[in-house]
Amino acid sequence: MSSFDSENFDASIRFSLKNDLPSEFKPLFNDQPLLHEEFEVFFVAAGEVSWFIENEMHRAEPGSLIIFNDREVHKLHIRSDKRFERAKLLFNPDLARSFEVFGCDLLSCFVDRPKGKGNIRRLSAQQSMDIMKLFDKMGQACVSDVPEAKLRKIVAFLEILMFTKRVFGDDDVGEESPGLRGPLPSVLEYIEDNLAGDLSLETIGQKCGISVYYMCRMFKKETGSTLHNYILYKRVAEARRLLGEGWKPGQVSAMCGFGAMSRFVAAFRKVTGMSPSAFARRKSV
């Protein structure tokens, strides 16, 4: 069991509960994917949204609970201007590991599955009410100034993780992906298989037999992201994995198709907020 770092506790949990986000409806196509060191629990209470996860599109109906680990590129796509309610919990996985007792692995549903698979569960009406009660409890603990507020926050955090573990342990309630249309699956498969190679839009279009204009337009329409940004985040995600395994930044730059080291450093810093060397040092501690 890891030791609990009480001094950094507040920074280890970021929670938000919102029920009206008109500013997020326009533009509907915010092209910035997400890739962060924190694990994430996201609940859709209302609205018409989809999640683009790794290389698949998933419709997240109200009552959907979605989870992400630190290696999954994901992008929220708001499909209409209807009222959007959601709860989001970002947390340092080391905090959860510090509470692994009696053989209970709170992070198994986050890590013991293929990347980009099994991220979504559709909850029953009762389960939706139950998770919202837990989120309300977390929200109240986050704004409370009573002496026991941190303890209440810990309790709410653990209850949310235990609830999530139970829900995702039920193999009968998985959410099916409707898939992407047209040539996009083959485009994403080519990108996945060639992160170290030439991924210029012209090369991808040529290899997949599709015009660059049509390919980029269709990808933006389906996912809400630009193809250029998607490739960038996929390469950085792979770079983070390799750095975590002990590869040197210079080696990782070549292995992930960045070419010049300066280009790799700039791209990595844009996505993660730190240099590859700084990230590697943190992972080696």
Walking along the chain (285 residues) 10 residues at a time, the average pLDDT comes out as: 61 85 48 89 92 91 96 89 89 92 88 93 95 95 89 95 92 57 89 95 95 93 89 96 94 94 95 93 76
- Is 9-173 assigned to CATH 2.60.120.280? yes
Phi-psi region of 82 (alpha: psi -120 to 50; beta: other; left: phi over 0): beta
Spatial contact of 84 and 21, defined as CB atoms under 8 Å apart = yes
Residue 51: which region, alpha, beta or left (left: phi > 0; alpha: psi -120 to 50)?
Answer: beta
Strand segments, DSSP code E, in the chain are 13-18, 39-46, 49-53, 56-60, 64-68, 74-78, 85-91, 120-122
Bond into 147 cis (ω within 30): no
pLDDT at 130: 97
pTM: 0.86
| CATH class in words for 184-284 | mainly alpha
Q: Where are the domains of the chain?
A: 9-173, 184-284
Cα(219)–Cα(80) distance, integer angstroms: 18
* pLDDT at residue number 175: 53
- Give the distance, in angstroms, between the CA of residue 238 and the centroid of all CA atoms in the same chain: 14
Which pLDDT score is estimated for 43?
97
Give the pLDDT score at 27: 44
Phi-psi region of 149 (alpha: psi -120 to 50; beta: other; left: phi over 0): alpha
Residue among 59, 64, 121 nearest 87 (CA): 64
